[in-house]
Amino acid sequence: MQRAALFIDGANLFYTQRHLGWQIDFSRFMRYFMKRFDVVSARYYVPLQEPSSEDQSAFRRVLTTHGMHIISKPVKKIVNRDTGELVMKGNLDIELAVDAMLMENVYERFILFSGDSDFLPLIRALQKKGKEVSVYSTRGISAHELYSAPGVDFHDISVLETEIAQSDIGNLNSGDEHVFAGLPSTGDRFTGSVLSVKPYGIFLVNPYRVKCLLPLSFLGVVERITDLFSVIRMDDRFDVTVFDVDIAHDVPQITVKLVDRAMSEELERRVKALS
Query: Does residue 44 carry a pLDDT above 70?
Result: yes
- pLDDT, residue 27, reads 80
**Domain edges within the chain:** 3-164, 189-274
Which residues, in sequence order, are bridge partners of residue 4? 39, 109
CATH level 3 topology of 189-274: OB fold (Dihydrolipoamide Acetyltransferase, E2P) (2.40.50)
What pLDDT digit, counting tens, does each position of 155-195 carry? 999 999 999 988 643 333 333 433 444 688 899 999 888 88
What pLDDT digit, counting tens, does each position of 212-265 carry? 999 999 999 988 888 898 999 877 899 999 999 988 766 788 999 999 999 999
Task: Record the pTM.
Answer: 0.62
What pLDDT digit, counting tens, does each position of 74-119 carry? 765 555 566 655 444 557 899 999 999 999 999 999 999 999 999 9
Query: What contacts 41, CB < 8 A, 6 or more positions away?
Result: 5, 6, 69, 103, 106, 107
* DSSP line for 93-156: HHHHHHHHHHTTTT-SEEEEE---GGGHHHHHHHHHTT-EEEEEE-TTTS-HHHHTSTTEEEEE
Look at residue 184 and give its three-state secondary structure: coil
Architecture category of domain 3-164 in CATH: 3-Layer(aba) Sandwich (3.40)
Q: Using pLDDT thresholds of 50, 70 and 90, give the confidence band for residue 68.
A: confident
